[in-house]
């Protein structure tokens, strides 16, 4: 059994006859097999406002523009920001008469939370809904799942089914605190925090499910500012230390840029600028640098080649 890297002992929750701490949020090999060949990328962090939805939307558009058939699932059932982002994109395209060639749209299937009074029954219902929805993305090359900034049953399910977990975090020690605790006096890493534990559990669940391959975890620094170079370096150094210890890869981060906030109402991303029907162009060095940052992030993910045909390709054939 894999050891917890911080305590060097097996997880107590997993010692209990192979059961997981939360009982039922396991990686279901059957629903993974149903979507065999679909690479599942989960965007998660228990911190709200760290850039999950922004990263998810840019990833979705980048994949579609590379010719991949891409699915999108929004598990932030309270805020539904990815759903709103995609809705805005659709409305924008309709208003401008822009076709899917210029403004591609992913396969989007909503998931509803259970309102059952019984917690156990509610989890059962959500587990069924999640498995059924996963199956409906079976013809996609990629499925991007945007998670809430909270530890919900659906979010744990998504993490346990991930091939890749992408964790955007603000470039600060407040966000770092969700990955690991630091000794206030020495600055040494003391142990894992909430979100690192959640990823670790997800890795265990996946290993126990018999699904081939592990979970690749990528941490993405977001909103990196030009100012406060000292803090930037300290956060960077600590993240490097931690990445070896708990097994994540560090992606090239995104800078702090107003453009990310401006594009949401139109449902656009930096990758759409300059396309037909999109009024804004890549107008400044800032936009070009931002686009390079996104490309660097995509390179870190080591995305493969498309094995499935997009609807456009099927129609053209």
The residues of the shown chain that bind ligand ADP, judged by CB under 6 A, are: 48-54, 81, 149, 222-223, 254, 256-257, 260-261, 264
CB atoms within 10 A of CB 95: 10
What is the distance, to the nearest Å, from the Cα of residue 172 to the centroid of all Cα atoms in its chain?
19
- The least distance separating Mg ion from the CB of residue 149, rounded to whole angstroms, comes to 7
Apex CA 162: angle with CA 10 and CA 210, to 5°? 55
Question: Distance between CA 207 and CA 212 in Å, rounded?
Answer: 8
User: Roughly what angle, to the nearest 10 degrees, separates helices 194-209 and 153-160?
Assistant: 50
Question: Distance between CA 155 and CA 286 in Å, rounded?
Answer: 34
Nearer to ligand ADP, 48 or 214 (CB): 48
241 Cβ neighbours under 8 A, 6+ residues apart: 189
Nearer to ligand ADP, 27 or 55 (CB): 55
- The least distance separating Mg ion from the CB of residue 264, rounded to whole angstroms, comes to 11
Q: Which two tokens stand for residue 262?
A: 């401006």
- The least distance separating ligand ADP from the CB of residue 309, rounded to whole angstroms, comes to 31
Partner in contact with 257, chosen from Mg ion, ligand ADP, none, beta carbon below 5 to 8 Å by kind: ligand ADP
Nearer to Mg ion, 76 or 175 (CB): 76
Question: Distance between CA 253 and CA 231 in Å, rounded?
Answer: 15
Run of H or E residues at 119: helix 119-136
Partner in contact with 50, chosen from Mg ion, ligand ADP, none, beta carbon below 5 to 8 Å by kind: ligand ADP
Binding site for Mg ion (CB under 5 A): 52-53, 76, 81
Nearer to Mg ion, 52 or 206 (CB): 52
Nearer to Mg ion, 70 or 81 (CB): 81
Partner in contact with 167, chosen from Mg ion, ligand ADP, none, beta carbon below 5 to 8 Å by kind: none
Helices and strands of the chain, counted as H and E runs = 12, 9
Partner in contact with 54, chosen from Mg ion, ligand ADP, none, beta carbon below 5 to 8 Å by kind: ligand ADP
Partner in contact with 264, chosen from ligand ADP, Mg ion, none, beta carbon below 5 to 8 Å by kind: ligand ADP
Nearer to ligand ADP, 189 or 218 (CB): 218
């Amino acid at each position: 059994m894999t050891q917890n890297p911080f305590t060097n002992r097996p997880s107590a929750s997993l010692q209990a006859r192979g059961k997981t701490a939360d009982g039922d949020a396991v990686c279901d090999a059957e629903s993974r097999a149903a979507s065999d060949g679909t690479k599942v990328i989960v965007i998660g962090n228990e911190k709200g406002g760290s850039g999950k939805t922004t990263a998810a939307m840019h990833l979705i558009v980048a994949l579609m523009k590379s010719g991949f058939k891409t699915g999108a699932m929004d598990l932030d059932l309270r805020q539904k920001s990815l759903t709103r982002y995609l809705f805005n994109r659709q409305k924008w395209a309709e208003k401008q008469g822009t076709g899917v060639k210029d403004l591609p749209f992913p396969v989007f299937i909503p998931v509803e939370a259970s309102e059952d009074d019984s917690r156990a029954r509610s989890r059962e219902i959500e587990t069924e809904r999640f498995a059924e929805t996963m199956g409906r993305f079976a013809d996609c090359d990629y499925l991007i799942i945007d998670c809430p900034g909270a530890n919900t049953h659906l979010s744990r399910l998504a993490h346990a089914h991930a091939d890749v977990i992408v964790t955007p975090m603000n470039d600060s020690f407040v966000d770092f605190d969700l990955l690991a605790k630091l000794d206030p006096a020495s600055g040494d890493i003391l142990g894992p925090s909430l979100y690192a534990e959640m990823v670790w559990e997800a890795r265990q669940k996946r290993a126990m499910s018999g699904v081939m391959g592990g979970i690749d975890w990528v941490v993405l620094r977001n909103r990196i500012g030009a100012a406060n170079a000292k803090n930037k370096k300290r956060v960077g150094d600590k993240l490097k230390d931690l990445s070896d210890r708990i097994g994540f890869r560090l992606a090239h981060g995104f800078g702090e840029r107003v453009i990310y906030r401006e594009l949401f109402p139109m449902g656009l991303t930096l990758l759409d600028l300059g396309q037909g029907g999109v009024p804004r162009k890549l107008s400044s060095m800032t936009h070009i640098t931002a686009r390079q940052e996104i490309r660097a992030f995509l390179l870190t993910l080591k995305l493969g080649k498309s094995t499935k045909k997009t609807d456009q390709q099927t129609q053209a054939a």
